[in-house]
Structure 1
Amino acid sequence: MNRPTEPQKKQELLEQCLATAIEVGVLDASINAIAKRIGTSGRMLVYHFGSKQELERQIISLLETRLREKLWSFHSVSVERDNLTTPLLAMWQHLTSPEMNGLLKLTMELHQRAIQGDLATKGFLERESQQWVDSLSTLTNDRTIGLALFYLFQGAILDFLTTGNAQRGQDAITAFLKSIAA
């Protein structure tokens, strides 16, 4: 069996680090804790990434790519305003599914970092927010409704993560859609 080339090994480690960060919902405080979770050494991570900051930067960059891939499926769909309920509730169901829990928690950790002044994280979140608004605007054929839905989803996700109650978010989405249909 051939040993992976260094770029292949680095990419494999990066994928494992992202998967672990999503699984636990946080970026660990030390490079050794990250290494332990993925079954390698801190030295190996430093060898490939140089520092914890660079590793985190690359994890966030890969996360950005993964989130964009998820959004593209919604970006290419366009529906009539009176037929938004099914795709938006399906999106909500997906976001509140157990497999998304770690990703949502990780995203909230990144929000906290941005609030504390981390400029790189602020930039990442600004790009992601813009992608969401663009996708929701395309889906609804209306920029104002797309923006309102983005903020509705943001609040509902925060409520879901803090209370575990997905029904309130679903109810808020349904109520919003009824209000714009009237």
Structure 2
Amino acid sequence: MPLPFLTADRAFDTDDIALPFDDHDQWRRPYRPGPWRVGLAALALLLASFVLLAAVVIAAAGGTGGALLTFGFAALIIGAALRSLRTGVWVSKAGLRHVAFFTTKTMPWRQTSAVRTAQQPVRWLGLPRTVQGQALVVVRHGGEPAALLTDHNADFLSRVEAFDRAADTVEAWHAEYAGAGAAR
């Protein structure tokens, strides 16, 4: 079963074209999820398999209420693992989408004035500890800059080249469609 949210298209590995897709209307993540994110999701799914096994044992023992509660807990773990794999930045012709664990914010390209890379303190793996690093920052018209990606998050920790490639790709999408939106 293909899981399109796990991999970006192979075009990012082979071509130097910034917008290598034929269908720009479809939302795409311009990078692959990093090993930290995938590893944590795999561990969560492993835990869910043990919880599901426990639910089957509880159901076989005749505790239907406990089994249902345990099945529900396993479903919650599986849902959290899949949602964590979907988090990140997605781009399309319509705009820029920042998917967090609990929220999703979509910004049309015409509302953005700049997308750039900046040196600033960034959170390490999303934890409260900050380190000096790079962030891909989006600036809205008349608004504060907001960091979309950092080189110390779960997708790009120890993958500087991948961060640079993803930042360049998002900047290229901005240059293509923010300029086109302003010309219309």
Q: What TM-score results when the alignment is normalised by the length of structure 2?
A: 0.27
Judging by fraction of residues, say which structure has more helix. Answer: 1
Larger radius of gyration: 2
Structure with greater strand percent: 2
> TM-score scaled by structure 1?
0.27
